[in-house]
Amino acid sequence: MSKHETFRYKTAEELLKKAEEMGINLPWQETLDPLFQPVCLGEKEIQNRLVVHPMEGFDAIPDGSPGELTVRRYHRYAEGGSGMIWFEATAVVKEGRSNPGQLAINRKSLPRYQRLIESMRSTAYKVFGGSHNLYIVLQLTHSGRFSKPQGKPAPMVFCYNPHLDRDRQEIRELTDEQLKPIQEAFIEAGTLAEKAGFDSVDIKASHGYLLHEFLSSFTKENSRYGGPSFENRTRFIREVIRGIQTGTSSLDISSRISLYDGVPHPYGFGVGQDGSMDMDLDEPVKLVRQLVQSGCCLINGTMGIPFINAHLNRPYNKPIPGMDLPDEHPLEGVARLIDGVGRVQQAVHDARLVGTGYSWLRHFFPEVAAAVLQQKKATFIGLGRNSFAYPDAPKELMQYGKIKKKKTCSSCSKCTELMRNMLVTGCPVRDKEVYKPIYKKIKH
């Protein structure tokens, strides 16, 4: 393990030298062609391998519909050149929102989603021509123990976890009976997403939210959805997929999965069962295989539970104020994400994996991403924080073969700070006209 360092690499040679010193074999190639190779998902051809990752903006109007800033963000993405846009966490029930400004899909909010999808597609056609068929995914979520629908914690927990819960006495675990309406809400949200014009829905099972909890619920008793049995722990997700498939005609199914939680067994997924913190991808690989067999066409690989180990999820230069620096160099975090996704992709050839963790690399991400694709360690490359900062990076890459250092995300964590302060979220550094005044509201 190497000490945390801020980003200080002026040239590719300096970055690669650092990786070598740390014993990291960072994929790298100068030719960027793999980023622009079209790929088919069923009958839909996606123009390039670049994906806007799901990134919450908390700028919905009260019924959960996209607000003014939501529309602005998604239009910037549509004009930005990515082949795929993965809509942020969108609640299937209001009480499962993590923030009063979180998007929610329901019958009332449906028309505004329809209008937004339609206008995003026509924007992309205008800018890039008729062959640029945006592929748009909607991430469906229930925030579970992190629910704050009115701005105050209102947790709904499936299984007590000492790494996340302070007091066992305070936790009232959900029963299978109480899960039924939540499952129905996921299924209904899938049918609404198809009506809205999305290509796919993501059954989100990551970052500590409700559906992610099932995967590590080894200690849950008396439930069809938990306990030592892998079948039980994956049943809820499979039932949601089957329900959505039954209720829709051509909607694709995807899933964002935390492949490694960084929480010891029996409370973490993708972690060695020997009590160590080592990554063990046996169960994640088994899950991805099972999901592909169930008809899941895309898996977006991620890691960690950001509330307790944010560096696993998004390697950063600076943490949010008051948080300690992690005990590792950010490049180790980047390498862990690339390696984890790569191992799953290579174990399940017919899965289409979206890779994560590229924003920390700044203007060097394209060369790393191209090599990852070339080595078949992912099928798509997702960008989260850099999409807030520099949504048109893919367009500039197509036009000029490179991107501008000064427009990239500096992984300063200001977007996360906005989110943690329950404010509308975006990049106060690179998109300062809109988000700097909002950031100034935070009392430091």
Q: Interface residues with ligand FMN (CB under 6 A)?
A: 53-56, 88-89, 139, 206, 256, 302, 313-314, 356-360, 383-386, 415-416, 419, 425
Give DSSP secondary structure letters for 260-271: E--S-TTS-SSB
Query: Which CB, 55 or 244, lies closer to ligand FMN?
Result: 55
In the three-class reduction of DSSP (H, G, I as helix; E, B as strand; rest coil), residue 211 is classed as helix
Q: How far is the CB of 389 from ligand FMN (least distance, A)?
A: 9
Whole-angstrom Cα distance, residue 230 to residue 237? Answer: 12
Query: Which CB, 185 or 265, lies closer to ligand FMN?
Result: 185
Task: Extract the tokens encoding 329.
Answer: 């160099």
Q: How far is the CB of 167 from ligand FMN (least distance, A)?
A: 28
Q: How far is the CB of 219 from ligand FMN (least distance, A)?
A: 25
Query: Which CB, 72 or 227, lies closer to ligand FMN?
Result: 72
Give DSSP secondary structure letters for 169-194: GG--BPPHHHHHHHHHHHHHHHHHHH
Query: Which CB, 164 or 369, lies closer to ligand FMN?
Result: 369
Q: How far is the CB of 139 from ligand FMN (least distance, A)?
A: 6
Query: Which CB, 223 or 386, lies closer to ligand FMN?
Result: 386
Query: Which CB, 220 or 351, lies closer to ligand FMN?
Result: 351
C-beta of residue 412 within 8 angstroms of C-beta of residue 429: yes
Query: Which CB, 142 or 265, lies closer to ligand FMN?
Result: 142
DSSP state, 22? Answer: T
Q: How far is the CB of 224 from ligand FMN (least distance, A)?
A: 26
* 252 phi and psi angles, rounded to 5 deg: -80, 155
Q: List the Cα angle 218/219/222 in 5-degree steps.
A: 105
266 prior amide bond cis, ω within 30: yes
Task: Extract the tokens encoding 299.
Answer: 């898996």
Query: Which CB, 57 or 226, lies closer to ligand FMN?
Result: 57
Task: Extract the tokens encoding 207.
Answer: 């970052």
Task: Extract the tokens encoding 179.
Answer: 């899960």
Q: How far is the CB of 231 from ligand FMN (least distance, A)?
A: 25
DSSP state, 35? Answer: G
Can you say how many angstroms the Cα of residue 132 is from the centroid of all Cα atoms in its chain?
Answer: 23
Q: List the Cα angle 92/93/99 in 5-degree steps.
A: 95
C-beta of residue 82 within 8 angstroms of C-beta of residue 54: no
Contacts of 105 (CB under 8 A, 6+ apart): 64, 90, 91, 92, 113, 138, 140, 189, 192, 193, 196
Number of neighbouring beta carbons within 10 Å of residue 27: 20
Which residue number is nearest to ligand FMN in terms of Cβ?
384
CA distances from 275 to 49, 263, 265, 347, 442 (A): 38, 10, 6, 24, 40
Q: How far is the CB of 98 from ligand FMN (least distance, A)?
A: 9
348's torsion region: left (phi>0), alpha (psi -120 to 50) or beta?
Answer: beta
Q: How far is the CB of 175 from ligand FMN (least distance, A)?
A: 27
Query: Which CB, 128 or 146, lies closer to ligand FMN?
Result: 146
Query: Which CB, 106 or 359, lies closer to ligand FMN?
Result: 359
Give DSSP secondary structure letters for 183-234: HHHHHHHHHHHHHHT-SEEEE-B-TTSHHHHHHT-TT--S-TT-SS-HHHHH
Q: How far is the CB of 130 from ligand FMN (least distance, A)?
A: 29
Q: How far is the CB of 425 from ligand FMN (least distance, A)?
A: 5
β-bridge pairing 39-41 and 44-46:
antiparallel
Query: Which CB, 223 or 378, lies closer to ligand FMN?
Result: 378
Q: How far is the CB of 91 from ligand FMN (least distance, A)?
A: 11
Task: Extract the tokens encoding 67.
Answer: 């607000």
